[in-house]
Amino acid sequence: MRVLIVEDDLLVGDAVRLALVAAGFAADLVGSAEAARSALQAEAFDLMVIDIGLPHENGLRLLQGLRSRGRVLPALILTARDGLSDRVSALDLGADDYLTKPFHVPELVARCRALIRRANAVASSRVMFGPLELDMAHREVSVGGRLLELTHREWAILECLVLNAGRLVSKDKLLHAVADWSHDLTPNAVEQYVSRLRSKLGPAATIRAVRGMGYRIDDRVD
């Protein structure tokens, strides 16, 4: 799951980015509305965190522009403490959630998880998939009560496959789920993560390669 953070205050932006990465997301930081639009054109994201206070063009105008062009990507807006009218405008313009500065970073991370879950139409933070039980909040997976030890990236691949269960997930999409700009990963890396994931999952789930294009997860073994 990949998050685009739009914040010109580097201290705040980087703190948010590091917290999201520590929580297992891939996260990229840009400092202006213009840079955000370029990033969104170039890459696939699952969520945006947009600060209203940006230079030249504020976060509300950025959001308005994106929504008017049909962008439905979930958006969490950061507003100033006294920004009641900004919060109202943000929700009216199609923001999915907001947080008032100063905020607690763990709350921001929890809200990001909730927005991504909602976007993927998963009501609960616990998802059953065959014998697998995924705890989306703690990014843990267990089989019959036994916790599997996955790395952040293995978890990100599994999460992306399970949320798209039964559908082909392209290698590119998986790459976006695990990579951000600070890491230069190739599609081969995805194959390695999938291969390690397969051996950790054992017979609990089957990850099928589909004609070299991507993968599909199946809870049956046949």
Task: Report the C-alpha gap between 159 and 122 in whole angstroms.
Answer: 12
Segment holding 49, helix H or strand E = strand 47-51
* Token output for 33: 């509305």
Nearest approach, Cβ of residue 188 and Ca ion (Å):
38
Q: Which is nearer to Ca ion, 61 or 196 (CB)?
A: 61
Nearest approach, Cβ of residue 12 and Ca ion (Å):
7
Q: Which is nearer to Ca ion, 8 or 97 (CB)?
A: 8
Nearest approach, Cβ of residue 31 and Ca ion (Å):
8
Give the burial class of 137: count Cβ atoms within 10 A of its Cβ; 0-12 exposed, 13-18 middle, 19 or more buried: middle
Nearest approach, Cβ of residue 115 and Ca ion (Å):
20
Instruction: Tell me if 206 sits within 8 A of 160, measured CB to CB.
Output: no
Q: Which is nearer to Ca ion, 9 or 43 (CB)?
A: 9
Task: Report the C-alpha gap between 13 and 11 in whole angstroms.
Answer: 6
Instruction: Tell me if 1 sits within 8 A of 47, measured CB to CB.
Output: yes
Q: Which is nearer to Ca ion, 9 or 135 (CB)?
A: 9
Nearest-CB residue for Ca ion: 53
Instruction: Tell me if 187 sits within 8 A of 181, measured CB to CB.
Output: no
Q: Which is nearer to Ca ion, 53 or 94 (CB)?
A: 53
Instruction: Tell me if 132 sits within 8 A of 141, measured CB to CB.
Output: yes
Nearest approach, Cβ of residue 159 and Ca ion (Å):
30
Q: Which is nearer to Ca ion, 53 or 65 (CB)?
A: 53
Nearest approach, Cβ of residue 199 and Ca ion (Å):
45
- Type of residue numbered 43: E
Instruction: Tell me if 59 sits within 8 A of 87, measured CB to CB.
Output: no
Residue numbers at the binding site for Ca ion (CB under 5 A): 8-9, 51, 53
